[in-house]
Amino acid sequence: MVGTKNNRRAQATERQLKNAMLTLLAQMPLEKISVSALCREADINRGTFYTHYQDPQALFTAIELDLVDQVSALVDQPRTDMAAWLTPILTLVRENAAATEIIIRNLTASPLLLAVLNPLREESLTRYRQWYHESDPAMLEYYFTFYLNGAVQVITSWLKSGAREAPAAIAKVIVRAALTAEPWV
């Protein structure tokens, strides 16, 4: 029904805007994307844009939150085999490469990254506590940050190179490096 929030027409318009945003993100950084450019790409008028979103950042946030919902469903799966657990998440990342690259650039405030990492944090800290004979929580967080940044760089490099390798292969690299490697010292 017209005027009803989340009706099919409104949902179609939001999909058009999200697709337009992803198309433009492939060409330019988020900061350079204007409402006018989004409207041209989505073939809608400015008034329609403002009916749905306050600005391009709000539209991008909606895209990120959609990804968070999708990732959250995957994160809740059993984690007996970490590489198998991570593979569908990386598949989703590859399918949403433009948005994921922006999210990775803004890691500290990323709900997507937090949705993936929070379940891994405790398991990782337990392993680091044993590997490095460390009990100081601050030091354990440094280890986690080290491995986290390595995983982020692997994913970033993978996306920038066209994500040619299978998500399962990238998951295996990340898991081997972060969870199964023997400590250096």
Check residue 34 and give its pLDDT.
Answer: 95
pLDDT of residue 180: 67
Structure confidence at residue 1 (pLDDT): 42
Residue 183: per-residue pLDDT? 58
Specify the amino acid at residue 61. T
Block means of pLDDT (10 residues each) for the chain, 185 residues, are 67 92 85 94 94 93 85 78 84 83 64 68 84 91 85 84 90 81 57
> Residues, the chain, total?
185
CA dihedral 86→174→180→127, nearest 10 degrees, is: -80
Q: Which pLDDT score is estimated for 51?
A: 93
Residue 7: the pLDDT is 84
Q: Letter for the amino acid at 42?
A: A
**pLDDT for res 13:** 92
The answer to whether the CB of 35 falls within 8 A of the CB of 78 is no
Q: Say what the pTM is.
A: 0.65
Query: Which candidate, 85, 7, 23, 21, places its Cα nearest to that of 57?
Result: 21
Residue environment code for 92-130, b if the CB has 16+ CB neighbours within 10 A, otherwise e: bbbebbbbbbbbbeeeeebebbebbbeebeeebbebbbe
User: Which stretches within the chain are classed as H helix?
Assistant: 8-25, 35-42, 46-52, 56-75, 82-95, 97-105, 111-131, 137-160, 167-175
Question: Which tokens in the block code for residue 143?
Answer: 């280890």
